[in-house]
Structure 1
Amino acid sequence: MQRLRAFFLFCSGAHVPMLQRAPVETNKYAGIGGTIFFTGLLAAISGGYALWTVFNELWAALLFGLVWGLMIFNLDRYIVSSMKKRDQFWPEFRMALPRLVLAVLIAVVISKPLELQVFDKEIQAELVTMEQQVYKTQEDKVKDRFQLRINALQAEISQLHTAIRLQAAKRDTLALIAQQEADGTGGSRIRNLGPIYKAKKADADRAEAELQALTTRNLQLISERQQQLQAVDSAMKASIPTRSRLDGLASRLDALGRLTDRSIPIRWANWFIILLFIAIECAPVFVKLISPRGPYDDLLQQHEHAFEIHRKQQMAVREAAFRERMDQLAVRS
């Protein structure tokens, strides 16, 4: 227990030998040191998880998490240890304000990866939706690039079919006219197979021959266009990129942003997590700021004052010695 307290006192940045002369302050600084330590621990976990989601390498995540946690620990320790109690709240608050802003920034940074882990299931579901949207967008872009050629081929095929239908309709009309001329229901209204019928029958036969030739030619062209259409369709399908898996840190942050924009409960839960980390990160600064001046602060001020007096005395001695040497040089000259 004593070793744990000594470790937390080290984490608080307090001068342990001087703090031993004010034992009533030990618990306060041990609590501050514990808060700083666990903030660094959370930062290490957060940084390691963030790097794990990016590179998926365990050793790199552990190394980065350790370095990141030590950096945050050392920064928090410096922030708290550099604050001095002088029983002047507003001057002390103005001095602490930049430290509080820095603490808020650190809290936001270390909380984000842990938020991603808390909402991991919801984020995974949102990532599937995002993957589908990205794939659909890529597919539409590729289809738009090939659609003009596809429409042109389909229009040519439709025109070739239309030409066959029109020629067949013309053939049927001429055949009907010849038949009506033969049975007397149309034309000259005389039932016979005379020269008029023969002329109309020749027109119908010529239309039939033209239909056969047109059908043969157009069906061949239709077959060619359909092969070209299949080739374009194959090229279009080959150009569509495969569906990629979104699992990076940026994709997860984007998914979390979408969830918070769409869901009010998730938005509030997200803010509560951020505020919790801000409170944890700012707790040592606030404790140091609002705590009353204690014996340790008096001892620290006495030590600083004694050092300042000693420094001024040394400067005065050096200045006097310098003036004496200058006077001696002036007399000799």
Structure 2
Amino acid sequence: MQRLRAFFLFCAGAHVPMLKRAPVETNKYAGIGGTIFFTGVLAAISAGYALWTVFNELWATLLFGLLWGLMIFNLDRYIVSSMKKRDNFWLEFRMALPRLVLAILIAVVISKPLELKIFDKEIQAELITMEQQVFKTQEDQVQVRYQARINELKANIALLNTEISRQAARRDTLALLAQQEADGTGGSRIRNLGPIYKAKKADADTAAAQLQAITIRNQQRINEYQQQLQSVDSAMKASIPLRSRLDGLASRLDALGRLTARSTPIRWTNWFIMLLFIAIECAPVFVKLISPRGPYDDLLQEHEHAFEIHRKQKMELRQLAYEKRMEQEKGLPKEGSLAG
């Protein structure tokens, strides 16, 4: 227990020999040190998870997570240990304000990867939707690039089919006129196979021969256009990038942003988690700021005051020694006068 308390006192940046002269302050600084230590542990876990999503390597996760945790721990320890209690609260608050801002920034950085882990299931579902949207956008962009050529080929095929249809309709019309002339239901209204019928039958046969020729000619061109359509379709499919899985840190952050923008409960939960980490990170600074001035602070100020007086005395002694040496040098005769 004593070793654990000594470790937490080290985490708080307290001067242990001086703190032993004010034992009533031990629990306060041990609590501050414990908060700093566990903040560093949370930072290491948070950074480890974030780096796992990036590298997916155990050694990189452990190494960089440990380095990040140690850096946050050392930074928090410096922030708290550099704060000195004075008799002026507003002076202390102005000194603590930059440290509070820094603590808030650290808390936001620490909390974000843990938020990603807490909402992991919801984020995975959102990532699937994002993958589909990205793939659909890429597919649409490729289709736009080839759509003009596809429309041109389809229009040419439609024109050729229209020409065949028109010629077939003309043949059918002429064949119907010849038939009506033969059975007396149209034309001269005389049922016979005379010269009028033969003329109309010849026109129908000519139209049928033209239809056959147009069909053969156009079908060849239609086949060519269809082959070109298949080539364009194959090229378009080859140009569409493969569907890749979104699983990076940036994609997860984007998915979390979409979830918080769409869902009010998730948005409030996200804020509460962030505020919790901000409170944890700022707790040592607030404790140091709002706690009353204690014996340890008096001893620390007394020690600093004694050191400052000692430093000034040494500087004055050095200044006096320098002035005395300069006076002695001025009192010595010059070499030229001695030679004379």
TM-score range, shorter chain: over 0.9
Contact kept? 1:48, 1:62, Cα under 8 Å = yes
Q: Deviation of residue 300 (structure 1)?
A: 0.5
Q: What does 1:111-190 correspond to in 2, within 5 Å?
A: 111-190=111-190
| Separation in 1, partners of 2:191, 2:261 | 86
| Separation in 1, partners of 2:50, 2:251 | 12
| Separation in 2, partners of 1:311, 1:184 | 136
Q: Deviation of residue 234 (structure 1)?
A: 1.8
**Could you say which residue in structure 2 is the equivalent of 1:60?**
60
**Could you say which residue in structure 2 is the equivalent of 1:274?**
274
Q: What does 1:41-56 correspond to in 2, within 5 Å?
A: 41-56=41-56
**Could you say which residue in structure 1 is the equivalent of 2:228?**
228
Contact kept? 1:131, 1:245, Cα under 8 Å = yes
Amino acid paired to 1:34? G
**Could you say which residue in structure 1 is the equivalent of 2:239?**
239
Q: Deviation of residue 180 (structure 1)?
A: 2.3
After superposition, give the CA deviation of every residue in 1:80-128 in whole Å (9 maximum; x if it has no partner): 1111111211000000000000000000001100110011011001000
| Separation in 2, partners of 1:3, 1:131 | 53
| Separation in 2, partners of 1:183, 1:45 | 98
In structure 2, list runs of 5 or more residues that go unmatched.
334-340
| Separation in 2, partners of 1:304, 1:167 | 110
Q: What does 1:1-333 correspond to in 2, within 5 Å?
A: 1-333=1-333
| Separation in 1, partners of 2:138, 2:284 | 51
**Could you say which residue in structure 1 is the equivalent of 2:336?**
none
| Separation in 1, partners of 2:298, 2:332 | 51
Amino acid paired to 2:3? R
| Separation in 1, partners of 2:78, 2:197 | 115
TM-score by length of 1: 0.98
Tell me whether 184-193 or 34-43 shows the greater mean CA deviation: 184-193
Partner SS, residue 319 of structure 2: helix
| Separation in 2, partners of 1:67, 1:209 | 88
Contact kept? 1:87, 1:292, Cα under 8 Å = no
Partner SS, residue 156 of structure 1: helix
Identity of aligned residues (%): 82
After superposition, give the CA deviation of every residue in 1:153-211 in whole Å (9 maximum; x if it has no partner): 11122111111111111111111222222333332333333322222221111111101
| Separation in 1, partners of 2:65, 2:236 | 46
| Separation in 2, partners of 1:185, 1:117 | 86
**Could you say which residue in structure 1 is the equivalent of 2:337?**
none
Amino acid paired to 2:219? L
Partner SS, residue 84 of structure 1: coil
Contact kept? 1:107, 1:278, Cα under 8 Å = yes
| Separation in 2, partners of 1:101, 1:227 | 67
